[in-house]
Amino acid sequence: MILLMCNNNIEVKKTDNRRNFIRNLGMALIEDHLRNRKDNPQIPKDSRKKWIQRRKMLTKAFHFNILKKYFVTFLKETDNLMKRVREDAGKEKTDLFHLMNSTTLRIMCETTMGVTNNDITSLVGPYLSSVEVICDCLTKRLGRIWLNPEPIYQLTNIAKIEKNAVENLHTLTNTVIKRRRDYLAEKNFNHFDHDENFESKDKLAMLDLLLKNEKAGLLDNQGVKEEVDTFMFGGHDTIAVAMTFMMMALANESEIQDKIYEEICQVLGDSDRSPTTDDLSQMKYLECCIKESLRLYPSAPIIIRHLREEIVLGDYTVPADTSAFIFIYDLHRRADLFPDPERFIPERFLPENCANRHPYAYIPFSAGPRNCIGQKFAMLEMKTMMCKLLRMFRLEPITKPEDIVYKMDIVLRSTHPIYVKFCGR
């Protein structure tokens, strides 16, 4: 294995060369583990073709007008989250990740999958514990090179634990698919056809698009399951992690918190109404804070691309079939790109301060054709939650940024829980 670490700016200039990169281990590995495939975790030959077709199919589910429909759920679930925070307000400390992850999972189920809370309440807890177990097994395996061959891995206790967890996890994803199939059958499937104009009152869940394409023979039941697994995992854990680090960072930056609160009050005035999407788009400072938090704490700290062909990167010729690791966490802390990189400075993201920045200096959602399909969804969800939470509560520090010891994982996690104290305003 060759690990090439380049600390200077290297850019693949020719568009042709960019096509030589295909998405590799990060998502592929987790998808593989969620699927519990028995065969060797290699990238299937047709994976690029399959990806192009599915990406095109699913992009529609993230159209701005669809996001506006999902926004209703963001508000509702944030209200439920606030009830739980109210119970915790004044207590010594609250564990942020375990507060956030059930909310972000519920949001994924109701928006992209179109199922209501009542359908899945008892399955949320076991799903979340299974995700933790699977990530743990995956990272144990990654750290032990001898466990890479599938037949050897399958003999281990880790594989047995993982198999159980995957089964538990599938209980939720299979239920979600079944519920939506039943609902669409009841409503008559074609009822959703006209929603491609994004104007009907009904929400077009992403799962509807998958089921519709399944009916048209463009993917099979296995394909539906794969996408549901990927989205459920990719869409809830990343946001829970981002919210956890952001709240911890803001708890330690009282002046920045005050500035966000002022902005919220300016936009919403004395009313106690919920924000609209237009209100949120006026909250530019809050947006800078979210971006700055994703700079310091990118939920996906490393992404990996597989080189299909030999490629020249700066002074090096990298052979075909190499895995190229892109260290987003380290890129975002480069002092030449972000002076005083360890400090939380939201003003870095004011338009005048990022105009001359290299377009790939900041990539929390990756970049290029395989970037995050859910980034607008994620930004809107995080803005909604932060706006509502900071309007009602002040965050006091418990965990400090310097206390954090990261854990090896595919998303950014710390070895110890991250806490803040919530105080009512």
In the annotated binding site for heme, the residues are: 372
> What is the footprint of ligand HEM within residues 63-122 (CB under 6 A)?
112
CB 160, min distance to ligand HEM, A: 27
- Which residue, 94 or 238, has its beta carbon nearer to ligand HEM? 238
CB 58, min distance to ligand HEM, A: 7
> What is the footprint of ligand HEM within residues 158-217 (CB under 6 A)?
none
Instruction: Among 242, 267, 286, 395, indicate the residue that binds ligand HEM (CB under 6 A).
Output: 242
CB 20, min distance to ligand HEM, A: 15
Q: For residue 82, what are the contacts with CB-CB under 8 A and spacing of at least 6?
A: 388, 389, 392
Judge whether 360 and 328 are in contact, CB under 8 Å: no
130 binding ligand HEM? (CB under 6 A) = no
Judge whether 395 and 247 are in contact, CB under 8 Å: yes
Instruction: Among 81, 288, 296, 378, indicate the residue that binds ligand HEM (CB under 6 A).
Output: 378
Beta bridge mates, 312:
317
Name the residue among 120, 102, 115, 121 with its Cα closest to residue 208. Answer: 115
26 binding ligand HEM? (CB under 6 A) = yes
300 binding ligand HEM? (CB under 6 A) = yes
- Which residue, 362 or 365, has its beta carbon nearer to ligand HEM? 365
239 binding ligand HEM? (CB under 6 A) = yes
Cα(108)–Cα(103) distance, rounded to whole angstroms? 9
* CA distances in angstroms from 356 to 142, 289, 305, 334, listed in the order given: 38, 19, 27, 16
Cα(124)–Cα(102) distance, rounded to whole angstroms? 7
Instruction: Among 78, 130, 257, 366, indicate the residue that binds ligand HEM (CB under 6 A).
Output: 366
For residue 320, what are its two tokens? 């075909």
- Which residue, 81 or 268, has its beta carbon nearer to ligand HEM? 81
127 binding ligand HEM? (CB under 6 A) = no
235 binding ligand HEM? (CB under 6 A) = yes
27 binding ligand HEM? (CB under 6 A) = yes
Exposed/middle/buried for 375, CB within 10 Å: 0-12, 13-18, 19+?
middle
Cα(43)–Cα(309) distance, rounded to whole angstroms? 15
Cα(50)–Cα(33) distance, rounded to whole angstroms? 19
Q: For residue 307, what are the contacts with CB-CB under 8 A and spacing of at least 6?
A: 20, 21, 318, 319, 320, 321, 322, 323, 324
- Which residue, 88 or 329, has its beta carbon nearer to ligand HEM? 329
Instruction: Among 120, 260, 264, 303, indicate the residue that binds ligand HEM (CB under 6 A).
Output: 303
Task: Please give the residue ranges that form the binding site for ligand HEM (CB under 6 A).
Answer: 23, 26-27, 55, 112, 230-231, 234-235, 238-239, 242, 299-300, 303, 364-366, 370, 372-374, 377-378
